[in-house]
Amino acid sequence: MILQGKIWLFGENIDTDAIIAARYLSTTEPEELAAHLMEDIKPDFPGLVQRGDIIVAGNNFGCGSSREHAPLAIKGAGVSCVIARSFARIFYRNSINIGLPILECEEDFSGLKSGEDQLKINLELGKIIHLQSGREYKAAPFPRFMQELISRGGLVEYVKARLANQ
């Protein structure tokens, strides 16, 4: 899968309360959640983020609560991929389970221009290209079991296949 979009840089330990505040958790609709994405740490973000954009962050992205509303809000905003140096574990499995592409990448993106620069991503190869400079970055590939989950379209499809075989 090839993804391409404008990047938005975020810092370290972006928690799920920052991604979507608890006061908006009385809905499960991705589009409604997206209207408040990152609101408490970047109030203008819901108005700026566009379909296909890419979130780039530091360590431990998605720490805190287990709310699946966090990856759902990101998916609902049309964000095509989240790249982080590392992910908190519940956010990581939630993203895989709902089919939100995420990549773990140790490289330094801090020199890139947030809201301007563009990245092109090859998910299968874990290859990331900065379009303005042509510079290539390498991300960690997924374990095979998770690749299978993603290629099936997430955990729901995986379970459906399991149930069909019973």
Binding site for other proteins (CB under 8 A): 13, 15, 17-18, 21-23, 25-28, 40-41, 59-60, 63-69, 71-72, 86, 88-90, 93-94, 97-98, 143, 145, 154-156, 158-160, 162-163
Q: Residue 160 Cβ, how far from other proteins at the closest point, in Å?
A: 6
Nearest Cα residue to 95 out of 81, 109, 107: 81
Question: 150: Cβ–Cβ under 8 A, 6 or more apart, which residues?
Answer: 96, 99, 101, 142
Question: 83: Cβ–Cβ under 8 A, 6 or more apart, which residues?
Answer: 54, 55, 56, 57, 102, 103, 104, 105, 109, 119, 121, 128, 139
Judge contact between 78 and 50, C-beta under 8 A.
Answer: yes
Q: Residue 130 Cβ, how far from other proteins at the closest point, in Å?
A: 26
Q: Residue 98 Cβ, how far from other proteins at the closest point, in Å?
A: 6
CA distance 43 to 65: 21
Q: Residue 134 Cβ, how far from other proteins at the closest point, in Å?
A: 32
CB nearer other proteins, residue 93 or residue 127: 93
CB nearer other proteins, residue 11 or residue 115: 11
With 0-12 CB in 10 A as exposed, 13-18 as middle and 19+ as buried, what is 163?
exposed
CB nearer other proteins, residue 134 or residue 162: 162
CB nearer other proteins, residue 104 or residue 129: 104
Q: Residue 146 Cβ, how far from other proteins at the closest point, in Å?
A: 8
CA distance 103 to 84: 6
CB nearer other proteins, residue 52 or residue 141: 141
